């Protein structure tokens, strides 16, 4: 990536600080309920996608940190992971096409476990400082589309009232940053900000000007 995305990355980092602050407050208020600790890698097997800004940010930090054989080895792992995810999603789509209940299929997909390509052999995240927002808030109560979620390893009790992070608002902010980025680079792909990208795909994708739809001079 040669585009100057510093402004958009700064906006993303500001949102990350807000999210981290929310997590810290919940953890301080409910220290026995929040299970998150070093080498607890439950969230590192969860299937989730990232908005464009988050994918671009993660890829930039990956390229800053890794090079040579280490980078190539991780890209090979990411490629295998991405192919496994594609197969899972394709199979789920086929089931829906055959008449299976979509909500039930989504529920089953949420139970699938796929190891993150950035999870090291020591069960530590290789890009922990720059991990996605989904990873940062995994251990506290969240809600999406009005449905609550809690990590299975926490001591939060389903049905009890706790401070809950509304992820719809976070996703909206991420989409807005992504949309502004697409506008600022004058991308031909005006709906590209709607993309959702898994970690594995973010790592193996070359987010160059051609991919992002940036007009070429001349």
Beta carbons of 117 and 126 less than 8 angstroms apart = no
CA 132 to chain centre: 5
State the Cα–Cα distance between residues 4 and 9, nearest whole angstrom: 10
pLDDT value of residue 37: 83
The residues spanned by each domain of the chain are 6-205
Q: What is the CA radius of gyration of the chain?
A: 18
Q: Looking at residue 1, what is its pLDDT?
A: 53
Residue 111: per-residue pLDDT: 76
Residue 154's contacts (CB-CB under 8 Å, 6 or more residues apart) are 33, 34, 35, 139, 140
In this predicted structure, the answer to whether residue 23 has a pLDDT above a threshold of 90 is yes
Cα distance between residue 57 and residue 12, in whole Å: 8
User: What average pLDDT does range 40-55 have in this prediction?
Assistant: 93
Tokens of 59: 């890829």
- Cβ-contact 89, 196 below 8 angstroms: no
Report the Cα 146 to chain-centroid distance in Å.
Answer: 20
CA–CA distance, 166 with 149 (Å, rounded to integer):
10
Return phi, psi of residue 12, to 5°.
Answer: -65, -45
Across the range 182-208, mean pLDDT stands at: 96
Exposed, middle or buried by CB within 10 Å (0-12, 13-18, 19+), for 61? middle
Question: 161-178: per-residue pLDDT in tens?
Answer: 899 999 999 999 999 999
Q: pTM (2 decimals)?
A: 0.91
The tokens for 74 are 């991780």
More confident residue, 102 or 89: 89
């Amino acid at each position: 990536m040669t585009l100057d995305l510093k402004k958009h990355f700064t906006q993303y980092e500001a949102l990350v600080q807000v999210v981290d602050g929310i997590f810290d407050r919940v953890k301080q208020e409910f220290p026995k309920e929040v299970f998150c600790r070093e080498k607890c890698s439950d969230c590192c097997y969860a299937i989730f996608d990232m908005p464009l800004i988050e994918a671009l940010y993660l890829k930039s930090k990956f390229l800053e940190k890794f090079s040579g054989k280490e980078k190539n080895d991780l890209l090979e792992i990411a490629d295998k992971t991405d192919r496994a995810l594609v197969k899972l999603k394709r199979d789920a789509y086929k089931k829906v096409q055959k008449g299976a209940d979509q909500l039930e299929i989504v529920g089953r997909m949420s139970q699938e476990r796929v190891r993150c390509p950035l999870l090291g052999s020591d069960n530590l995240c290789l890009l922990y400082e720059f991990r996605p927002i989904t990873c940062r808030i995994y251990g506290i109560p969240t809600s999406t589309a009005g449905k609550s979620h809690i990590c299975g390893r926490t001591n939060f009790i389903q049905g009890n009232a706790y401070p809950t992070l509304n992820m719809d608002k976070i996703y909206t902010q991420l989409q807005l940053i992504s949309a502004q980025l697409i506008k600022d680079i004058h991308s031909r792909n005006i709906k590209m900000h709607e993309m959702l990208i898994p970690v594995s795909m973010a790592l193996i994708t070359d987010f160059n000007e051609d991919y992002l739809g940036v007009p070429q001079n001349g």
